Amino acid sequence: MPELETRAAERPPVRIALGIAYRGERYHGWQSQPGGRTVQDTLERALSEFAAQPVSTLCAGRTDTGVHALNQVVHVDAPVEREAFSWVRGTNRYLPPDIAVQWCQPVPPTFHARNSARGRRYRYLLLESPVRPAIEQAGCGWTFRPLDGAAMQAAARHLIGEHDFSSFRSSECQAASPVKTLRSLQVSRRGAYWRFDVDGSAFLHHMVRNIMGCMVAVGSGARAPDWMGEVLAARSRDAAAPTFAADGLYFVGPYYDAELAIPQHTPAMDWLP
């Protein structure tokens, strides 16, 4: 028996990936802070309760205060052996209603939630209405000015490709380089709601919200579509519009090499317009 216990203790932990959905308005962003009021702190407390020992996580993309996530991916070196469905249901038992594990699956020991990602997707939901949101408060941004979709689409084209995105970078950004690749920025409308779907290699701090500030400036007619190119070329945060609200920003999630079979869809993606 002692030999079996020793071998069990020496068994390397199994790395698992988890998909997490959350609403961000009650939290000070993703990353752990001393006060403990972050998504990471809340998730790690729940995982540790379920595993009956400390569990730490590493995520695919840190989100700011007020930003939501549909499929945040984290990896964990599991200190105990459990079935995948047990990690989902067992952890959710200890989580508040606005955070939930969506799925779990084993991954190779070399898998890294952040470094293995081939890209990341964000979605911004914006209400165009003379009246501020109520039912969807904190779940969408808001503008009372009518927006021109064609103008915003023209502005978006200036951002596609590899660029220095310093003009859309927060002064608090810790990224090693401002050069990122924006693969697509799609603008669509459903009723009173505009949807902006952004796909890129990686994103700077506040990058999507700063782009949104400029998109709304163009859409409302305050700026011409070509102004977006001028902002990009300036490589200065002073050239861009103010940072837009976090309320309507959703981290849709990262994506990986196909052979990893990491889920890219969660039920909330069908719910969100």
pLDDT at position 273, please?
A: 80
CA dihedral 127, 264, 22, 36 (to 10 degrees): -130
Q: What percent of the chain has pLDDT over 70?
A: 96
More confident residue, 171 or 123: 123
Question: Cα-flanking dihedrals φ and ψ of residue 80, to 5°?
Answer: -135, 155
Tell me the residue range of the domain where 173 lies.
119-252
Do residues 140 and 85 both lie within one domain?
no
pLDDT at position 272, please?
A: 86
Query: Is 199 annotated in the active site?
Result: no
- The pTM of this model reads 0.94
What confidence tier does 10 reach under pLDDT thresholds 50, 70, 90? low
Tell me how many domains the chain contains: 2
Per-residue b or e along 181-200, where b marks 16 or more CB atoms closer than 10 Å to that residue's CB: ebeebebeeeeebbbbebbb
pLDDT reading at 13 higher than 90 = no
Q: For the segment 45-62, what is each residue's pLDDT rounded down to a tens digit?
A: 999 999 999 999 999 999
pLDDT reading at 67 higher than 50 = yes
Residue 237 covered by a domain: yes
> Among 254, 256, 231, which residue's Cα sits nearest to residue 242?
231
CATH number for the domain harbouring residue 84: 3.30.70.580
Q: Are strands 249-255 and 68-78 parallel, antiparallel or unpaired?
A: parallel
Q: What percent of the chain has pLDDT over 90?
A: 92
Do residues 102 and 226 both lie within one domain?
no
Do residues 80 and 107 both lie within one domain?
yes
pLDDT at position 35, please?
A: 85
pLDDT at position 12, please?
A: 76
Catalytic residue among 41, 64, 199, 247: 64
CATH number for the domain harbouring residue 183: 3.30.70.660
More confident residue, 1 or 110: 110
CB atoms under 10 Å from CB of 179, counted, come to: 14
CA gap 259, 130 in Å, rounded: 47
Q: What is the mean pLDDT of the chain?
A: 95
Residue 2 covered by a domain: no
Alpha-carbon radius of gyration of the chain: 20
What confidence tier does 2 reach under pLDDT thresholds 50, 70, 90? low
